[in-house]
Every structure is written in C-alpha cells, then in structure tokens.
Structure 1
C-alpha cells in the first residue's frame, strides 16, 4: 500500500486541521507536485470512503480526519516510521526488544527450543509482523497432546514448524493473557484493549489525548478490532464506560449497544478497571519510543494481572475516536496537538513529502 497525499484545489477552511495540512503541502511543494496532488484529489484518493460515511455523520466529517488523509499526515509527524523493518511500532520483534522492562505479554524469545517453550503453554497467540487491524492473528489452545485452532487440530511438531516460519518473517508467539474478571462478560473471546493515543506537545511532554475501549463481541476470531465486527466505546476521565458501537461492516451503519449483544452484560455505566494505570503505562511507553514519533496509538490489554502493553501504532486510526466522541478530530484536544505539531515542522520536512510515496520495508 502507498501513501497518497491528495490535495484539493480549494481547501475547506471550516476544517482547521485539514486546512493547515493542505496549506503546508501547497506552500512547500513545487508546481509539479501540487498538480500531482490535485490529480489524486480529482481521482477520489482523498476525503471520506463510503464505509466511513456510513458510521460518521456529516457534522463529524466536516471537522474530521479521514483514513485517506491521516496516513499522509502521520507520515509527516512520525519520521521514524520508515523503513518498516526498523520501525518498532510495525516490526513486532523489534517492539518486544525495545519495550524490555515494560509490562509486555510473555513470548517465545526466538533463541530457546520452541517445542520446549510450548510444553509450558496452554493458550497462545501468534501474530505476523508488518500487519495491522488484527489481520493474520491466530489463537492455539492445548487439548491433551494436540493444539487446536478453530476446527483444526495438530501435534506440537507441525505447530512448532509453522510458528518458527512465522517468527523468521518477524512474527511473535505470545502467551494469551487472561481478561480482567470485571470485563470477562463484556469481552468474550478476546482480550479487551484500551486504545490510548499519546502526542508530544510543544514542551516535549507526551500527553494522553484520546482513548477508546475495544471489546470482543464474541465469535471465533481472537481479536477485538472494530472492523472485525467488534465493539468500541468512549471512557471518561474517571474510567466510566459509555454506550458501545458495533461495526455493521461496509453495508450498514454501526449499531448502538448499552448491553453486550452476546452476554447481555451492562456496558454503559460500567467502570474500567486499572484505568489510571493504563494511561500511565501509555505515557511511559511513549517516553521509551519517542525517537521519531510525535503521535502513537497504544493498545493496552486490560488483564487479570493489570495493564499490559500489547503494541504501539505509528498510524493510529482516528475513525473510532471520532465515532465514540461524536466529533471531528479538529474539534478535539488531540486535533489541537496535531495542529501544533504540524506548525512546528521544518520546511525541509514539508518539502520531503511526496504526493505518492512507496513504503519501504
């Protein structure tokens, strides 16, 4: 996938964030690059996708940041993202190494015998590297001498061969973490994660700017991602949960739920355990990974043993934040920090941006 920066001929001044972003490109780009950006816009490479228009209302979109536009913006703010092989927020093995000392899931270290490590495990998660949105994640559970994934069962030997190949491609094999008891009925099938977006302000301090809690709706996939049919909701400063939204896919708008659609457990009004500790962990993580990254979206697992750092995202999605907050990004505290960060970019950074950029691994 490429980064494409579509540039409208007449920027929409009602959206202060997009206006600043597009003005910066137009001011620093040569005429040939501006024409390329205008051509991308005319071809529909910027703005809102049909799926986003389904679950974000017109007023939110008027002040919002689309998936098509945020990637080019994040690539300006997060210069450490490429090449991907040295990006610790994309290379999962590098993330585990850089995050040493932070609370991370127990994982196979790649040096000891994998079959020996598997002997001490009952429930594991395998994640491919350089993937996002829960793509390719698999769960394996022990059943006597066999390991089960979905309807398939196999012995430890072929499983170890398969997992070793995944690890050689940069993937990780982790112990599956138990969900905090207070959330067991709210996230059946997958560990719930709190998405915490942190951004470095003008004084160089990493701040929590936005949060959204993701819950599994149930089902066979061991992920809680919204686009996989799961739930997302806002959590206020005290840790109190709002109503949840469930993705309707690409054909229907999201549905609103005050109770879990599978278990019936109350979502709205529930209290998120370890809320403050999860936010503190996100700040500590950004301090560890701050080199090259102004804004990071953290996934913090809410486990029985406390908050655990699952992963960081250099290009965090803003769609779920805008959905649960009911406002466009430019109207939020996170949007204000984005504007401040864009205003601090040097002319060289703006000039280095291209209308179309490859994503070297």
Structure 2
C-alpha cells in the first residue's frame, strides 16, 4: 500500500481545508516534486472517486476531504503511525496490550494463555486479522454442539484452534463477541453496532470529540457493520438522538431508511444508549496517545455491558462522516482543528512528505 499526494494543477481555492494542506506542500516542495504530484493528479490518482461523487453532493464536496486525499494529510498529522509494525492503531495485538485498563472485549493471547481452555468458556467469538480495515477478513465462530460454525460451515475444535493460532502468529486478535445493547438489538441484527467517534487535539492540545456516526448491521452473514459492506450509517445529535440511516447501494446511490430494512424497527428518533459514556471513552483513549496522533477515529461498541473500545484508526475515513452530516469536513469543527494542526506542522515534516510513500510494516 502507498500514500499518494496528488496536487491538481488548477485549484479553485474555495476549500479552505484542502488549501491549507496543498499550500503547505507547495511551499515546502521543490519544483520537481510538485511536477510529479501534478502528474499523478492528471492521471486521476487524487480527488473524488466515482463512488464518492455518487453519494456526496456538490456542496459537500466543495468543503470536503476525499478518501484519496485524506491519507496524505493524516500522515502529516499522525507521525506516530509509522512504521506500521509499532503503530498501536494498526497492529491489533499492540492495541490490545496498549488499551489495558480501558473497557475492552475479553480476548485470548495464545502465547500467555491456554487457548483451548479459553475457547471452552466461550460460545461466540470473533477473529480479526491485523493490518486490515473496513472489516476485511473478520470471521465469527459460534459454538454448535461439540464444534463451531462459521457462516454455513462446521469447524471442529481442533481445526479452529489451529486456524486461530495461525491468525495470532500473523498479528491477529481473538476476542469474545460481545452482546449488543438491548435497545439496539433490532437495529443491528448480525453484528455489534459501533459508534465512530473522531477525536482531534484542539487549540489547548486536549482531545475533543468533533464528529460521530453510528454504524448498524443490515443483517446477513458477515459479522461486520461497515457501510461499504452494505450496512447502515447515520448521524447522532448531541443529545444522542438518531437520524434516518443511509444504506450503501453499491453502484447505485445510497438509500434512506427511517426504519430498519430487515426488522422494521424505527431508527429515526431512537435514542443511542450510553451516548455520553461512549464519547468520554473515546476522549480518554486519545488522551493516552496524544503525542503521536492528532486525529483518531475510534470505534466504540455499544454493548449490553456498556461502551467498549473496539479499535482506533489513525487514518479515519471521511466518507461516512460527510454523508451523515450532509457537509464537508472543512465546514465544521473538525475542519477547523485540521487547519489549526496543519498550521503547526514543522517545515522539516512538510519537506519529508513525499509524493508517494510506501506504507511499510
């Protein structure tokens, strides 16, 4: 994987967030690097994708940040992200150790624990590969009789233990699947609902919750709630009240739902349980790693036991936040803090920002 920084030759100047990012690069880059970046832009490597143009309107994109551009920006603001091998927000095993003391799913470390004994006490588990995002590779195993079931496939205890140990050796994690809060059970069948909370260091250097989006499972066999997997995403206001949900339409525009498409349960107007506690957990987590990370996207599971920290993302997606808020990131509080942080990036860090950087582990 690569970080790509593509600067268009012509800029309209109306997007203050992109202007702060691109002007910083232009000021500190030599002419040859600027030309290489322009060439990438002409080749279509930056800017808005066809999918983003499908579900983000012109007004949103006018003050927005595309998924293609966000990574280069986040790499400047989050120097603690690289190398990925020591990035606590990418290496899932490091994250599990770093987050001890915060509410987390019960997990097994086969190097320090008896995996077979741990499995004997479980009935529903999740296995996650490391260095993955958007729910890729996540598997759910549910106890059935003397064995386990993964989707429609029966897995023997021996085979499961072998595959889990292999996953662990490759940096993955093995966790108990947590039960969904009763208030959301009919709104997220099939997967734990998660609140994405984007925190950013403010003018005082303290983490502040600036944006959020609730993700719900639409149902189906995959144990994830990611929007790009056909699930639901929606805005939650400051009082914890839910708006209508958006559902990914693939090659079609996303559809709008005031009720859950599978269960019929009302979404719009529902109150998110433990809303304030979930925001406080995200801020508490960011406070632990503010030295290396200016902006983080936290996934907080809304469980029967209360909010649980699922993971943190050093390069949080911009698409669902802009979709549910109906405005570009540059137009809100998060955009203001991005600009504040970019204005304080040291000159040597701007100069070290390459046109293309390989994301080495």
Normalised TM-score (structure 1): 0.99
Aligned position for 1:158? 159
Aligned position for 1:175? 176
Aligned position for 1:229? 230
**Structure-2 separation of matches of 1:332 and 1:203:** 18
The alpha-carbon deviation at position 155 of structure 1 amounts to 1.4
Aligned position for 2:31? 31
**Structure 1 residue matching 2:107: 3-state secondary structure:** coil
Matched, 1:120 2:121: yes
**Structure-1 separation of matches of 2:162 and 2:59:** 52
**Structure 2 residue matching 1:3: 3-state secondary structure:** strand
**Structure-2 separation of matches of 1:12 and 1:91:** 39
**Structure 2 residue matching 1:247: 3-state secondary structure:** strand
Deviations 1:3-42 (A, max 9, x none): 0000112222110000111100000001111011101111
The alpha-carbon deviation at position 218 of structure 1 amounts to 0.2
**Structure-2 separation of matches of 1:241 and 1:154:** 39
**Root mean square deviation, CA, Å:** 0.6
**Structure 2 residue matching 1:60: 3-state secondary structure:** helix
Aligned position for 1:76? 76
Aligned position for 2:267? 267
The alpha-carbon deviation at position 180 of structure 1 amounts to 0.2
Deviations 1:137-174 (A, max 9, x none): 00000011010001111211111000000000000000
The alpha-carbon deviation at position 307 of structure 1 amounts to 0.1
Deviations 1:189-247 (A, max 9, x none): 00000000000112111000000000000000000000000000000000000000000
Aligned position for 2:58? 58
Do the aligned partners of 1:12 and 1:19 also contact (CA within 8 Å) in 2?
no
**Please, which runs of 5 or more residues in structure 2 have no aligned partner?**
none
Do the aligned partners of 1:11 and 1:22 also contact (CA within 8 Å) in 2?
no
**Structure 2 residue matching 1:25: 3-state secondary structure:** helix
Do the aligned partners of 1:208 and 1:279 also contact (CA within 8 Å) in 2?
yes
**Structure-2 separation of matches of 1:214 and 1:12:** 34
Superposition misfits of 4+ residues, deviation over 4 angstroms: none
Matched, 1:326 2:326: yes
**Structure-2 separation of matches of 1:230 and 1:246:** 6
**Structure-1 separation of matches of 2:195 and 2:90:** 19
**Structure 2 residue matching 1:116: 3-state secondary structure:** helix
Deviations 1:279-306 (A, max 9, x none): 0000000011223100000000000000
Aligned position for 2:46? 46
**Structure-1 separation of matches of 2:288 and 2:177:** 24
Do the aligned partners of 1:215 and 1:232 also contact (CA within 8 Å) in 2?
yes
Matched, 1:304 2:304: yes
Aligned position for 2:99? 99
**Structure 1 residue matching 2:75: 3-state secondary structure:** helix
**Structure-2 separation of matches of 1:144 and 1:291:** 48
**Structure 2 residue matching 1:299: 3-state secondary structure:** strand
Do the aligned partners of 1:245 and 1:254 also contact (CA within 8 Å) in 2?
yes
Aligned position for 1:254? 254
**Structure 2 residue matching 1:44: 3-state secondary structure:** coil
**Structure-1 separation of matches of 2:247 and 2:289:** 32
**Structure-1 separation of matches of 2:265 and 2:152:** 28
**Structure-2 separation of matches of 1:154 and 1:124:** 13
**Structure-2 separation of matches of 1:17 and 1:322:** 14
Give the paired residue count: 360
Counterparts of residues 142-153 of structure 1 (less than 5 Å): 142-153=143-154
Do the aligned partners of 1:12 and 1:18 also contact (CA within 8 Å) in 2?
no
**Structure-1 separation of matches of 2:8 and 2:54:** 23
Aligned position for 1:196? 197
Aligned position for 1:278? 278
